[in-house]
Amino acid sequence: MAEVINPAIVPKVTLPSGEQVPCVGMGTFGSDRVSAEDVSAAVAGAIRSGYRMFDCAACYGNEHEIGQVFKDAFDEGVVERKDLFIMTKVWNDMHRRVEEACDKSIKDLQCDYVDMYYIHWPFPNYHAPGCDVDSRNPDSKPFSVEEFMDTYRQCEALVEKGKIRYIGISNMTIPKLEAVLPLMKIKPATCELELHVCFQQQELYDYLVAHNIQPVGYMPIGSPRRPERDICPEDVADLEVPEMQAIAKAHGVHPALIALKWAHQRGEISIPFSVHNYASNLKCVTEDPLTDEEMASIATLEKGNRLVKGQVFLWHGANDWHDLWDEDGVIVK
């Protein structure tokens, strides 16, 4: 039995609405390496260990199994629905049918409503699960403000219908945000983005905070078990950087826990995925904080180490994955 952490002592982050939510949630993307059964078993253990936030997605292919875990926990009185903050996402092939996608996730997750519903990627460029890095869909297109806002308006309607409580955006850039934020009736509560010690995205992070959008960091420990297609020779292993090793040694813990402490003390919500170490991932933010000097040391580790490059979403005429991220400050067409 995994260690139990009292949810009341887990530090909270305040959303723009004023609602307080846990600073650590459990990711459920199995990195193409773990079965839906293994992920759902980890979710069952995590609920009993004290997790109250779960980050799901239709395209992960495990919402049905996780939903059974949620139902069992509700039926057994382990938690009530109101105790959990459940997040999921609309996948790229459902941007024109958001309510249908949301209804399926609610049914699969057996959760009655969704707390945070993300637009998983800001364009409807579909790729099949498990495809290789060179796969391209001939129908892929560059970002369109009109198409994105059509999808977002559908999310706003779901808030008004009570099917979702908050809207989240994901994998955005500052130029894209500049284009769409003025058009929104209901502002996004969060933005999910890749954040880890060697990819801190400080400019985008600061932009989100300045616009009262809570950053949610995926791959917070640098995702050493991410899909093979996302691994490149130039990638940096965050946890093996000497500064991280030294800080971990000083605290007597694994460097992964240092990465999570840093994320919490920075102010983000992190959503690490683990089928074994989830209890320690949650417990680490409740004790033994990093010093100001250690936080300052980690702040120097930015290496532009983007791990999810998104090659499979590229459209005809795009140069390479850099075009997805508007690195020159303009939306790449």
Active centre residues (catalytic): 60
CB 289 within 8 A of CB 295: no
Residue 319 CA to residue 15 CA, distance in Å, equals: 37
* Cβ neighbours, 10 Å, residue 214: 22
Query: Which residue is it, tokens 């917070």?
Result: 220
What DSSP character marks residue 290? P
Residue 108 CA to residue 110 CA, distance in Å, equals: 5
Give the β-pairing of 114-119 and 26-27: unpaired
Structure tokens at 83: 């105790």
Residues 6+ apart with CB under 8 A from 153: 185
Q: Find residue 329's DSSP bridge partners.
A: none
Task: Cite the beta strand spans of 123-213 per DSSP E.
Answer: 164-170, 190-194
Query: Which residue is it, tokens 């899909």?
Result: 227
CB 275 within 8 A of CB 44: no
